[in-house]
Structure 1
Amino acid sequence: MNRALVVVAIGIAAAAPALATKPQPTAAPQTKPEAIWRATCGYCHGSVPGAPELRGINLPEALIVTAARNGAPGMPAFHASEISDADLRALARWIARQPAPVKAAP
């Protein structure tokens, strides 16, 4: 057998256990609340008549979660298949802690 081939085979055999036990990620990283806001909420809230700005008005997190899950007048419900419970709680916490956005001068 070719000596180089033997060396490669030994190297692969030695590395195999390390490669086989390498930890794999178990879940995708959570989306940042601000990115969820931009993609899901911000295009209406604060820019569409009838959809109030939610940031800076000290809404309770539980109210935000309930309204998002069940819908509100003029607002659709967002199901767990669209936003996970963990991401929704993080989003509600983020909204509740945001200051009111600065409005651009006309």
Structure 2
Amino acid sequence: MMKKLFGVCTALVTALASGQAWAGGQTEAERGLAVFQEWCVSCHGIGPGHPGTQALDHRYQGALAGALEQRTDLSPEIVKAFVRNGISVMPFFRKTEISDAELDALGAYLARNDQR
């Protein structure tokens, strides 16, 4: 019985340390994709009709991608700062809207391409 309990505890610690959720086996970045799709894609999705992406395309003039999912310079910290504080016409999001855990996942998702 103790060996079985130890095995379950070890599996839980290993899953948490590797960034996987106990339920569903999703990585933090995969959970972040769900957060992005729920809260961000309407403004920051890829393609025409996304005002945030269009504004960033205009601002960066090809120096950086306007679509956040295509960026290679986003860190979790910068994502958190923009989400919690807003910028320009982008509103801020409260913890009651996007929890800290969801924001961590979103940061992991958007930073997955970080090449700095």
TM range (shorter): 0.5 to 0.7
Q: Report the structure number with the largest CA radius of gyration.
A: 1
Cα distance in 1 for partners of 2:31, 2:37 equals 10
Tell me how far 1:98 sits from its aligned partner. 4.5
* 3-state DSSP of counterpart to 2:44: coil
Cα distance in 1 for partners of 2:39, 2:68 equals 13
TM-score (ref. length: structure 2): 0.53
1:60-75 aligned within 5 A: 60-75=75-90
Count of residues in correspondence between the two structures: 71
Q: Deviations over 1:15-47 (max 9, x none)?
A: xxxxxxxxxxxxxx7992212111100110142
Tell me how far 1:56 sits from its aligned partner. 2.7
Cα distance in 2 for partners of 1:34, 1:45 equals 13
Q: Contact conserved, 1:56 with 1:96, CA < 8 A, in 2? A: no
Cα distance in 1 for partners of 2:55, 2:70 equals 17
Tell me how far 1:92 sits from its aligned partner. 0.7
1:96 corresponds to 2:111: yes
Q: 1:98 to 1:41 in 2, by over 3 A?
A: farther
Amino acid at match of 1:53: A
Provide the aligned C-alpha RMSD in A.
2.3
Q: Contact conserved, 1:55 with 1:97, CA < 8 A, in 2? A: no
Amino acid at match of 2:84: R
Cα distance in 1 for partners of 2:88, 2:39 equals 17
- Tell me which of 60, 63, 70 is aligned to 1:56: 70
Q: Structure 1 unaligned runs (5+)?
A: 1-28, 100-106
Tell me how far 1:78 sits from its aligned partner. 0.5
Amino acid at match of 2:78: L
More helix by share: 2
Q: Deviations over 1:51-81 (max 9, x none)?
A: 5311232211100000000001110000000
